[in-house]
Structure 1
Amino acid sequence: MIRTATPDDVPVLHALVRELAAYEKALDEVVASEEQLREALFGERPAAYAHVATADGGGEVVGFALWFLNFSTWRGVHGIYLEDLYVRPDRRGGGHGKALLAELARICVERGYERLEWSVLNWNAPSIAFYESLGARPQDEWTVYRLTDGALARLGTAGDRLGA
């Protein structure tokens, strides 16, 4: 069963984020608190959205999809960027991941969004095979860039020196 996350789900969502980060060998990079997640999802101006997969007719949360809107200047419409998709290892193979992606695809179709996109680690062969089995294709001509921490702060405070 897939449902929209509620504020009561924040503790389990936070735990699942940490599990995902551990799986991706990056647990030490998780600094977000439950309160930050609650504010991002359910604050006055939500910046992100989440759906959860539950086991056995609505009980235990076993996976989640956390996403936000992006915009394509080429298509002129919004799309969904899937930030995180995670299903607990002991629950994989039960259709939860596919159901979460299908729900996001349904939202795209319903709202006229023309893209559902995400990133996957190059070494994550099981996930890549799963995504490709659904018809997703890698965007091989694009490389993701990211500014964080000191580099972001340096550029963000360089405005005065750059004449901005």
Structure 2
Amino acid sequence: MSKVQVRAVELADRAKWGELYGAYARFYNSPQTDEMRDTVWAWLQDEANGLFGLVATDKKGDLVGIAHCREFARPLAASTGLFLDDLFVDPDSRGSGAAEALIAHIRQMAVDKGYTIVRWITADNNYRARGLYDHVARKTDWLTYDIQL
């Protein structure tokens, strides 16, 4: 058995997923309540929603990382892509290969489904993650803008 395995999120993952997702929100200084995590968990369980979750497990089977993805239309390219909304690895498991395994799994899923791109964003100061991202993807020239509502 390899060091890290990736699989779809399961109902039994709820507690540890919640811990990891809460830590992810804290990492980005994003206020998040238990009710908000309940909403995201419900989305992950609803096949009609479109958001799906993956988890990375260590050799003992413990959850050490999470990822959330969704399909998106690319009108200019007349194609479909896969958007990686969230990727987080427990700080104690960083360097274990969990992030690489999650990204590789997502990439293969995209290839298998005929998507033309896997896309994600990260904070400019997320240096550790960007070190990995620079090896597995191409940094674009696009800037992101938000209108807060």
TM-score (structure 2 length as normaliser): 0.88
Report 1 or 2 for greater relative contact order, CA contacts < 8 Å, sequence distance ≥ 6. Answer: 2
Aligned counterpart in structure 2 of residue 43 of structure 1, from 42, 46, 49 = 46
* Paired residue type of 2:138: R
Please name the residue that 1:102 is paired with: 104
The unaligned stretches of length 5 or more in structure 2 are none
Report the alpha carbon displacement of residue 63 of structure 1 after superposing the two structures with TM.
0.3
Pair 1:18-2:22 in alignment = yes
Bigger radius of gyration: 1
State whether residues 51 and 64 of structure 1, in contact with CA within 8 Å, keep that contact through their aligned partners in structure 2. yes
- Structure 1 residue runs of 5 or longer lacking an equivalent are 153-164
Q: How many pairs are equivalent?
A: 144
Q: Is the 8 A contact 2:66 2:89 kept in 1?
A: yes
Amino acid at match of 2:25: A
Q: Please report how far the alpha carbon of residue 44 of structure 1 lies from its aligned counterpart in structure 2 after TM superposition.
A: 5.8
Give the whole-Å Cα distance in 1 for the aligned partners of 2:111 and 2:50.
21
Shift in alpha-carbon separation, 1:14–1:30, aligned structure 2, 3 A: same
TM-superposed CA distance for 1:8, in Å, is 2.2
- For the aligned residue pairs, the C-alpha RMSD in angstroms reads 1.6
- Matched residues, percent identical? 26
1:90 Cα deviation from its structure 2 partner: 0.9
